[in-house]
Amino acid sequence: MTIQTWLLAFALATLYGAAFHVWQGGGARRLALYLLAGWLGFLIGHFGGDALGIHLVKVGALNAFSATIGSAIALAAARLLVTSDTLPGTK
């Protein structure tokens, strides 16, 4: 992967994490958590898509589809892990 591909991946993952933070709200800690989750999910999704042979939407060497799905899963998991109001029986 070229440096341009890495920069695009970093920009997209950052955009996903920041947009999720705008949508869900929270302070600076939540922003940091969502950015980290977006980056890690994007990375895992990209390489997971490569390993599984998923090549639906590719931008150069970047598996944009699987990376986006990985980022969305990681962001949703991070949201579920930090909020206790979605669990039944908690106050």
pLDDT digits (tens, 9 = 90+) for 27-61: 899 999 999 999 999 999 999 998 888 888 888 78
- What secondary structure letter does DSSP report for 56? S
d(CA 35, CA 12): 11
Q: Name the pTM for this structure.
A: 0.84
> With left for phi above 0 and alpha for psi between -120 and 50, is residue 24 left, alpha or beta?
alpha
- Asked if pLDDT for residue 91 goes beyond 60, the answer is no
